[in-house]
Structure 1
Amino acid sequence: MIIKLKSENKYFLDILYKNPNTDQGLYLKELKDGIIIGNVISASEYHCVFLDGKHSYLPEEGNQIDFQSYCSPLLALNMGTEFFNHLYKEKNSLNETFILWLEKTYSQIDTEKATIEVPTFFIDSGWYKNEKYLLSKYIDGITIKHKIGNNYELTIEGATVREAIQKFSLIALFTHFTNRYAVYTFIDDYFIQKHITMLTNISGIPYFVFYLFIKRIMRSPVQFEKFKPQLEAYFDNEVQFVFTDTHQSRKEFICSKINFDETVLDFGCGELQYFKLLNKRGFAQEYYAYDEVDFKHVADKIQANERADHLVWVEKLEELKDFQGQIILSEVIEHNSFQEAKKILIWIRDNTKFTNLFVTTPDKDFNVNYELTEEFRHDDHDFELSNAEFVTLINEIFPNPKTFYGVGDYVKGVYPTSAVIIQKK
């Protein structure tokens, strides 16, 4: 792998701590079974090269061709740490750091643009599709061009040398942890803190990048709670994060409210995600599953594998008339036209004797946090409602006692999911 850093800043090499008068500008360090070499090309260009000895970044021991040692994002991450770890400090602290031989601080000298180029960079995930890379939408200065197979050319632009290097490390981090073909990396608190510092050093990083960091990088609720205040402080506490992703948050919300002594009907059950979670937690009452799409094969497999005799697949809507118990209607209505959605809600109201009806749907006002404008959150949605529109719809159909909730992360007064629990009449 080769990483090329460029800047017209006359202090460029000073910022990097690289002296061209030392060993003719060459720096060599051991890394795994290979050697990384730093080379001063000119006053405005610096190269980092990795030469492998034997299978340093080989994910599969049986594979004799270790191409990952020439393009792995984990290698890029390691190279950045070996050469530029001094530039990963907290922004204000680094601004005030005094460079002795210049008698200047970083804030005085690191004031011009910088570029980092990686000619061959390995991406094997759904984050690159339709000739676009996901993070390019949320972080300025990230350009990825497809070369061949899973190899890409990565270019990063920063307002300063520090910003370019920190963006580079973050892209390598996210790419490594989302690639399917990657070696495992141990994630301790030091690792998390280091990259939170980089995230919070860069101004203008949107909510969704922090969301991805929490969901993709953090491994435990304990770790999340430890660093949560730092993440929220970046947004002046106008954002409140939860550990679970949007889908998991909905499941946790509903399953925490379910009465384990009552029957459940999962209306629009899909692949029975709610049943799987409730069953794992010991739910033993009859659980009726219904969907317009035929997921009976999924129900049959669960019944066979888990001996779940209390799971009942319902073939026809008419069989649900006069159902008594709890009803889950989660992320269903938006997959129909608005009029069809109203008919579903009215049918449940008029044909069942529910004790509690759980309804969730996306809040379209949250979509701005995904950089969506006119698009729906998912391609198979026929409509999406704001929370106010959702409240109006539910109140129009159900005169019953009810409680409305927001579920998931809280961003400037808006949640990703609108929810309601409607009680029996």
Structure 2
Amino acid sequence: MIIKIKSDNKCFLDILHKNPNTDQGLYLKELKNGILIGNVIAENEYHCLFLDGKHSYLPEEGNQIDFQSHCSPLLALNIMSEFFNHLYKENNTLAATVIPWLEKNYQAVDTEKCTIEVPTFFIDSNWYKNGKYLLSKYIDGIILVNKIGNNFELKIEGATVREAMQKFSLVSLFSHFTNKYAVYTFIDDHFIQKHITMFTNLTGIPYFVFYLFIKRIMRSPSQFEKFKPQLEAYFNNEVQFVFTDTHQSRKEFICSRINFEESVLDFGCGELQYYKQLHKKGFREEYYAYDEVDFKHIAYKIQESERTENLIWVESLEEIKDFEGQIVLSEVIEHNSLEEAKNILIWIRDNTKFTKLFVTTPDKDFNVNYELTEEFRHDDHDFELSNAEFVSLINEIFPNPKEFHGVGDCVKGVYPTSAVIIQKK
């Protein structure tokens, strides 16, 4: 792998802490099984080159060709840490740090644009789709050009050397953790803190990038709780994060409120995610699964593998008429027209004797946090409601006692999921 860093800043090499008068500008360090070489090309250009001895970044031991040592995002991340770790301090601290031989601080000298280029960079994930890279949507100055297969030419543009470095490391970080072909990386608190510092050093990073960082990289709820205040402080505490992703947050919200001594009807059960979670927690009452799409092969597979007798696949609405118990209607109504959704809710109201009815649906007002404007959150949605519209719809159909909730992260008072628990009459 080769990384080319360029800037017209007259103090460029001083910012990098590289002196062309030392060993003709050559710097050599051991990295895994190879040698990392830093070379001053000119006063405005610096190259980093990795020459591997044997299989330093090989995920599969049986593979004799370690092409990852030429293009791995993890390698890029390691190179930057080895050569430029001094540039990853907190912004204000670094800005005030004096470069001794210049007798000036970084704020005074790091004032020119900088670019970082990698001729071959490996991305093997759905973050690059339809000619677009996900992070480019949220962070300016990330340019990817597909060369062949999963190999790309990467260019990063920053207003300063520090900004370019931090953007480059974030792209390397996310690319590594989302690649299918990746080596395991140990993630400790030091690793998390370092990359949170990168995030908070950059201005204008949107909520969704932080969301991806928490869901993709943080390994435990305790680790999340430790760093949660720093993440929320970036948004002046107008954002409240939770550890679980949007889908898991819905499941936990409903499953934590299910009565384990009453039957459940999962109306629009999909691939039976709720049953799997409840069964794991010890739910043993009858569980009726109904969906217009034929998922009974999944139900039968679960019955066989779990040796469970309480899961019952329902073929038609007639079989669940007069059902008595709890009903889960999660992320179902938006897959129908609004009129059909109303009919589903009315049918449940008039044909069942539910003790609790759980209804969830996306809040369209949250979509702006996914950089969506007119689009629905998913292609198979026929409509999406704001929380106020959802409350109005439920109140129109159900006079019952009820509790409305927002589920998931909260951004300026808006949640990704609107939820209601409707009690029996």
Shorter-chain TM band: over 0.9
Q: Kindly indicate whether residue 322 of structure 2 is the aligned counterpart of residue 322 of structure 1.
A: yes
| Structure 1 ranges of 4+ moved more than 2 A | none
Deviation at 1:396, TM superposition (A): 0.2
Query: What is the correspondence of 1:19-418 to structure 2 with a 5 Å cutoff?
Result: 19-418=19-418
| Cα deviation, residue 23, structure 1 | 0.5
C-alpha distance in 1 between matches for 2:414 and 2:187: 31
Residues 156-214 of structure 1 show CA distances to partners (whole Å, capped at 9, x for unaligned) of 00111000001111110000000000000000000000000000000000000000000
1:71 shift after superposition: 0.2
Deviations 1:25-46 (A, max 9, x none): 1100000010010011111110
Give 1:202's aligned amino acid. L
Q: Which amino acid aligns with 1:277?
A: Q
Provide the rounded CA distance (Å) in 1 between the counterparts of 2:53 and 2:310.
58
CA distance in 1, matches of 2:145, 2:333: 39
CA displacement 1:7-37 (0-9 Å, x = unmatched): 1111110000000111111100000010010
Give the residue type in structure 1 aligned to 2:268. Answer: G
Measured on the aligned residues, the alpha-carbon RMSD in Å equals 0.4
Structure 1 residue 105: Cα displacement:
0.3
Percent identical residues: 83
Deviations 1:243-265 (CA, angstroms, capped at 9, x unpaired): 00000000000000000000000
Tell me the secondary structure at the aligned position of residue 163 of structure 1.
helix
Q: Report deviation, 1:295.
A: 0.2
Q: Which residue identity lines up with residue 201 of structure 2 in the other structure?
A: N
Q: 1:393 corresponds to which letter in structure 2?
A: L
Match of 1:400, as an amino acid?
N
Letter in 1 for 2:349: R
Measure how far apart 1:112 and its partner are. 1.1
**For the residues of structure 2 that align with 1:210 and 1:189, how far apart are their CA atoms?**
16
SS at 1:257's partner residue? coil
| Alignment partners' CA distance in 1, 2:230 and 2:80 | 24
Give the TM-score normalised by structure 1.
Answer: 1.00
CA distance in 2, matches of 1:317, 1:17: 72
C-alpha displacement at 1:421, in angstroms?
0.1
Partner amino acid, structure 2, of 1:17: H
CA shift, 1:317, in A, is: 1.1
Q: SS at the partner of 1:166?
A: helix
Q: How much does 1:318 deviate?
A: 1.2
Aligned equivalents of 2:91, 2:224: Cα separation in 1:
22
The separation in 2 between residues aligned to 1:412 and 1:114, in whole angstroms, is: 34
Task: Work out the CA distance in 2 between the residues paired with 1:145 and 1:287.
Answer: 50
**1:357 match: secondary structure:** strand
Question: How far apart, CA to CA, are the structure 2 residues paired with 1:317 and 1:162?
Answer: 62
Q: Hey, what's the Cα distance between the residues in 1 that align with 2:313 and 2:276?
A: 14
**Displacement of 1:143 after TM fit?**
0.7
Write the letter of the residue equivalent to 2:35.
Answer: I
Q: How far apart, CA to CA, are the structure 2 residues paired with 1:384 and 1:163?
A: 38
| Alignment partners' CA distance in 1, 2:33 and 2:242 | 40
Structure 2 stretches of 5 or more lacking a match? none
CA distance in 1, matches of 2:289, 2:143: 46
How big is the shift at 1:308? 1.3
Paired residue secondary structure (1:87): helix
Q: Secondary structure at the match of 2:414?
A: coil
1:233 Cα deviation from its structure 2 partner: 0.2
